[in-house]
Amino acid sequence: MQFTETQLPGVFVIELDRHEDDRGWFARTWCREEFAKHGLPIELAQCSISHNAQRGTLRGIHFQSAPHAEAKLIRCVAGAAHDVVLDLRPDSPTFKQSLATELSASNGRALFLPEGIAHGFQTLTDDSTLFYQMTSPYVVEAATGVRWDDPVFNIEWPLPNPILNSRDQAWPDFAK
């Protein structure tokens, strides 16, 4: 695996080292030793999957508040998604800045997000599936988010008229 730290401190793009032959390819997607070598958490508490039937589905922007904050490793295992991460760590030099990248089954790329980074995505294809590995279990009372179109963040999404649920439409304006 190849770890590239982004402009958001602690956020890494992780590329697979594919071993290919005429049958296809094989690659490790997680390795305790490699994550430890990069100073990333090695204890996982939960894995989740998000299947999205329609192109244009937008989920986010979500995070868990302290003391249940979680680090996440996210990859797309079917289809493709425009993945957005948002730095909500008040002491970070990149507070309120975002980063977007395409995650797809074909590129195999993953994103590692430390605690304090919120996450959202918009699907670029029908039948897109994202797989999450998290360092803390989901706690419904700690689940929160910010609005996908909050002008404070000025996030650009690739597809107009996203498919949203009522919760993601109703997050309040970010408290500046």
Q: What does each C-alpha distance from 83 to 20, 32, 57, 96, 121 come to in angstroms?
A: 26, 24, 12, 16, 4
Rounded to 10 degrees, the C-alpha dihedral 69/71/75/81 comes to 50
Distance CA 9, CA 113 (A): 9
Q: Which is nearest to 172 in space by CA: 144, 142, 140, 133? A: 144
Mean pLDDT taken over the chain: 96
Q: Where are the beta strands (DSSP E) in 16-97?
A: 19-21, 24-26, 46-52, 58-64, 72-78, 80-87
Q: Is the dihedral of CA 4, 56, 129, 149 positive or negative?
A: positive
Question: What is the pLDDT, as a whole number, of residue 131?
Answer: 98
Residue pointed to by tokens 């305790």:
32
Beta bridge partners of 62: 119, 145
Q: Return the H-helix or E-strand segment holding 99.
A: strand 98-104
> How are the residues of the chain apportioned to helix, strand and coil, as percentages rounded to the nearest 5?
10, 40, 50
The torsion angles phi and psi of 35, rounded to 5 degrees, stand at -65, -45
Question: What is the pLDDT, as a whole number, of residue 176?
Answer: 65
Question: What is the pLDDT, as a whole number, of residue 175?
Answer: 81
Reported as a single tens digit per residue, the pLDDT across 97-137 is 999 999 999 999 999 999 999 999 999 999 999 999 999 99
Distance CA 158, CA 135 (A): 30
The tens place of each residue's pLDDT in the chain, 176 residues long, gives 999 999 999 999 999 999 999 999 999 999 999 999 999 999 999 999 999 999 999 999 999 999 999 999 999 999 999 999 999 999 999 999 999 999 999 999 999 999 999 999 999 999 999 999 999 999 999 999 999 999 999 999 999 999 999 999 999 889 86
User: Which residues are identified as catalytic?
Assistant: 62, 132
